[in-house]
Amino acid sequence: MYAIISVHFVDNAQHPIDELPFEIRQAGILWKKGTTDKDGNAGSYVIVKNGTEAKSDVDKLVGGLPKGSQTLYTNSPEAPIEIYILTDTKEKKLLHQTTIKWNQCSRIVARSKWIKINLPLTPNTAQERDEAQQRSETCGFATVQYEVGSPGTKKFATAKVIVCDLPKKIIDTAMKYRGSTAWAYSAAKSTRHPDGHTRDFSAGTNKCSLFVHDVLTEAGLKVPWIEYGRISRMLPWYQKLSPPVAEEWATAGKLATNWNSSSTPQPGDVGAYKVNYADASGHVGFVVCPGVTISAGSKTVLVNDAGFRVKKMTPQERTANDSQRETQREHDFTLFRRHKSVKAG
């Protein structure tokens, strides 16, 4: 009995994940330990049940595979193949498992929930190094690699982050809606507070704060609703409650019961700034990694560099930006909010 397999790692958008440490195990036995190549490949293998194939036949099978293919032997043909990723703290986390399909060729694709993001960012290697050190000391989740650079150029760098369970859950939930039009300016949307309050948002309204509220609620966090309007405050039975807007998220003294404030971004943070636009109080979204955010734009939910653009500008670009009216220029996030249950890192 034999099986031929090739193993590949991809992200949630089916892009290959390179330089990812992995292990392949079966029945508790380590078969292969290594790092994926630039195409996310973890190798090709001939699996043989001990005593069922002659060595000459196995050599022929291996000879027809790509150079460097290996032969793996098993005494447990029914046990599944297990594919692990390795963390900075040398922990193993199971990413994929599958049964062996004997006398067949199989392509095993281990898919992570992460998305590789191409952006024109200026990397801060010192910040990345400090962040990786701090995060590994607090939780040791797997390092996630993002390609950052302008497509068509050779100016690519790497941003590596280590994400704990709750921030990862927030980012995973937000990433599910990448490209969604449910929070678009032209869309009508309702949301419901766990206590029973309902709030309708009509078409022709900005909904970046609603996106943040809905993602946090889906991730299992309770977001306090705010009373708006003089009548609502004076007459308790005439309440006009709504999820917090960008201004509340960008103000350290507000939402302070459950949300800490920081000037340093971490994955999973809510980032916000406040500006008195005609139809909004600012902008708010989630930090994927420093320099990369996901938030509701006017048309779709976008992964981009909103909230980090001014920092990347040249001195000349910054001067030109500052000369614009406040409502017409780019703004960076001024505050990052972290749920108090998340360890400081």
The neighbour count for residue 160, using CB atoms within 10 Å, is: 17
Residue 84 falls inside a structural domain: yes
pLDDT tens-digit map of 264-308: 998 889 999 999 998 899 999 999 877 888 999 999 998 888 999
Given this model, what pLDDT does residue 284 score? 97
Examine the pLDDT at 63 and tell me if it is beyond 90: no
Q: Within 64-203, where are the H helices?
A: 125-138, 165-175
Q: Highest mean pLDDT: which of 46-55, 82-91, 265-274?
A: 265-274
**Structure-token match 């909230």, residue found:** 307
- What domain count does the chain have? 2
Which amino acid belongs to residue 133?
Q
Name which of 75-89, 160-174, 331-345 the model is least confident about. 160-174
Report the DSSP pairing between strands 70-74 and 41-49. parallel
User: What number is the average pLDDT over the span 155-167?
Assistant: 50
Residues 168, 105 share a domain: no
Range from 68-82, 96-110, 117-131, 155-169 carrying the lowest mean pLDDT: 117-131
Mean pLDDT of 208-216: 95
Kindly state whether residue 211 falls inside one of the protein's structural domains: yes
| The pLDDT value given to residue 272 | 97
Whole-number Å distance between alpha carbons of 279 and 32: 57
The whole-angstrom distance between residue 289's C-alpha and the CA centroid of its chain comes to: 8
Domain match, 310 and 239 both: yes
- Asked if 200 and 98 sit in the same domain, the reply is no
Q: Which of 45-54, 210-219, 309-318 has the lowest mean pLDDT?
A: 45-54
**Is 207 in the same domain as 334?**
yes
Structural domain of 94: 2-111
**51 vs 75: CA distance, rounded Å:** 9
Q: Does residue 125 form part of some domain? A: no
Same structural domain, 92 and 191? no
CATH number for the domain that contains residue 269: 3.90.1720.10
Look at phi and psi of residue 19 and say left if phi exceeds 0, alpha if psi is from -120 to 50, else beta: left
Burial class of 180 by CB neighbour count within 10 A (0 to 12, 13 to 18, 19+):
middle
Domain of residue 68, CATH code: 2.60.40.10
How far apart CA 17 and CA 108 sit, in angstroms, is 14
Averaged pLDDT of the chain: 79
Q: Which of 176, 217, 212, 191 is nearest to 307 (CA)?
A: 212
Query: Do 161 and 138 touch, CB atoms closer than 8 A?
Result: no
- How far, in Å, CA of 300 to CA of 312, rounded? 24
On the question of pLDDT at 108 being above 60, the answer is yes
Last residue of a domain, one of 95, 111, 127: 111
Whether residues 194 and 318 fall in one domain = yes
- From 80, 95, 111, the end of a domain falls on 111
What pTM value is reported for the model? 0.57
Tokens of 101: 């399909």
Residue 334 sits at φ, ψ, to 5 deg, of -100, -15
User: Does the pLDDT of residue 138 top 60, yes or no?
Assistant: no
Assess contact for 299 and 274: CB atoms under 8 A.
no
Contact yes or no for 44/69 (Cβ under 8 A):
yes
Examine residue 238 and state whether it is found in any structural domain, yes or no.
yes
| pLDDT for 57 | 78
Does 318 share its domain with 189? yes
- The reply to whether 313 falls in a domain is yes
Tokens of 43: 């190798």
User: Which is nearest to 206 in space by CA: 273, 288, 270, 284?
Assistant: 284
Query: Is residue 75 packed enough to be buried (19+ CB in 10 Å), middle (13-18) or exposed (0-12)?
Result: exposed
Last residue of a domain, one of 92, 111, 130: 111
> Do residues 331 and 193 both lie within one domain?
yes
For residue 148, being part of any structural domain is answered with no
Rounded CA gap, 82 and 95, in Å?
Answer: 8
Residue 224 and residue 95 in one domain: no
Got the DSSP string for 196-242?
Answer: S-EEEE-TTS--HHHHHHHHHHHTTPPPPPEE-SHHHHH-TTS--EE
Residue 306 and residue 206 share a domain: yes
Are residue 205 and residue 335 in the same domain, yes or no? Answer: yes
